[in-house]
Structure 1
Amino acid sequence: MPILKDYFSAFAYILFPDNCLACGGVIEQGEKHICTVCRVSFPRTNFHLDKENMLAQKFWGRVKVEHAFAYLFFRKQSNVQSMLHYLKYKNAPEIGQIIGSWYGQELLDNDFYKNFDVIVPVPLHPKKFKSRGYNQSAYFGRGISEVWKIPQLEQGLQKVAHTESQTKKSREERYQNIKTGFTVPNPKEIEGKNVLVVDDVVTTGATLEACISLLLENGAKTVSVAAIAVTQS
């Protein structure tokens, strides 16, 4: 029976092949959502090899960050943008978990997992969560969590309010505006812990800055960040 099941599975794949959610090409049987060609050719940052990388520099002089990582560079009209569009808007949260497991393994191979006790995803506002049905950053964190065997606190941070428009606000005003929208519901969960905050895409870093500051104020020993992608300035 298992052989017959494999036969029908292969036949179904021939009739209805899956497409890569990054490049749109047909993926090989056994691949999941992203083809091997895209996975190999994605523009990696290798930020874990450079503590003074461009993401870390976004926080210099503003908030203390132990480590700052991003797996990929984000460029418009790229395969990375296409993949993230499916992750955020096309009901494909499993992409986040796959990327998290890939990046988690890469960082595991470099022993970075030893620096962290818990993972905390950047939260969505409840209304946005209800509309989307999932938090894409949490799925990214799940992938890392499974590889590292450390817990993820999916409610470690909560977004409690819609923030005001950022238009015409200074960087400091934007930061304060964002910070007031988050809360740490149970500080004891992160007290004295080395926390890794995970996000999908980092642009200015203002949201992460607010999250880092809030976690430190609520007793985290250290805070680091890891994102799927970072925009190049």
Structure 2
Amino acid sequence: MAKIINEINNILLPRVCFGCNAQLFRDEHVLCAVCRHDVPLNDYNYLEENAVDRIFYGRIPIKKAASFVFFSKNGLIKSLLFWLKYKNQEQIGGFIWDCCGAQLKESGQLGQIDAVVPVPLHPKKLKSGATIK
């Protein structure tokens, strides 16, 4: 019965891809298969020394920094972050964590992590009293 109700719900209110606005199939969540394939992943978290590490050299004491995706002004990641931050689409945060968490687990560095911090934090947010936990 629940399956039937879910199918009717998908007909009346179809779930769409946050990347290209195409209708999602039954086993797809947040992104369609095409957009998921187009996520601009990088391998910085697997490298001993990487470009993200170099950004923080001499600024703050860290042991390791990593990045999972490349960000571009008009890219898929920008669109996902917009939906997450400004349109309250919390399932995108879970989707991003599932992707990044799987990579962290594979890298073997998961046991050494003290915090996961979203970067960058805009200066206006800092002035408003936003804190990083």
Do the structures match in fold with TM over 0.5? Answer: yes
Give TM-score, length-normalised by structure 2. Answer: 0.80
Question: Whole-Å Cα distance in 1 between the matches of residues 54 and 20 of structure 2?
Answer: 31
The structure where strand makes up a greater share of residues is: 1
Deviation at 1:76, TM superposition (A): 1.2
Match of 2:115 among 196, 200, 215: 196
Asked if the contact 2:46–2:107 (Cα under 8 Å) also holds between the matched residues in 1, the reply is no
Q: Please, what is the CA RMSD of the aligned residues?
A: 2.4
Uncovered stretches (5+) of structure 2, i.e. residues with no partner: 126-132
Deviation at 1:105, TM superposition (A): 1.3
Deviation at 1:16, TM superposition (A): 2.4
Which structure has the higher relative contact order (CA within 8 Å, separation 6+)?
1
Matched letter for residue 34 of structure 2: V
CA deviations on 1:58-101 (whole Å, 9 max, x unpaired) are: 11122221111122111011111111100110111221122112
Asked if the contact 2:41–2:68 (Cα under 8 Å) also holds between the matched residues in 1, the reply is yes
User: Bigger radius of gyration, 1 or 2?
Assistant: 1
Deviation at 1:30, TM superposition (A): 3.0
Question: Whole-Å Cα distance in 1 between the matches of residues 80 and 58 of structure 2?
Answer: 33
Q: Any runs of at least 4 consecutive aligned residues in structure 1 with deviations exceeding 4 A, and if so which? A: none
Asked if the contact 2:17–2:30 (Cα under 8 Å) also holds between the matched residues in 1, the reply is yes
Aligned length: 124
Give TM-score, length-normalised by structure 1. Answer: 0.48
Question: Whole-Å Cα distance in 1 between the matches of residues 67 and 121 of structure 2?
Answer: 11
Asked if the contact 1:45–1:73 (Cα under 8 Å) also holds between the matched residues in 2, the reply is yes
Q: What percent identity do the matched residue pairs reach?
A: 28
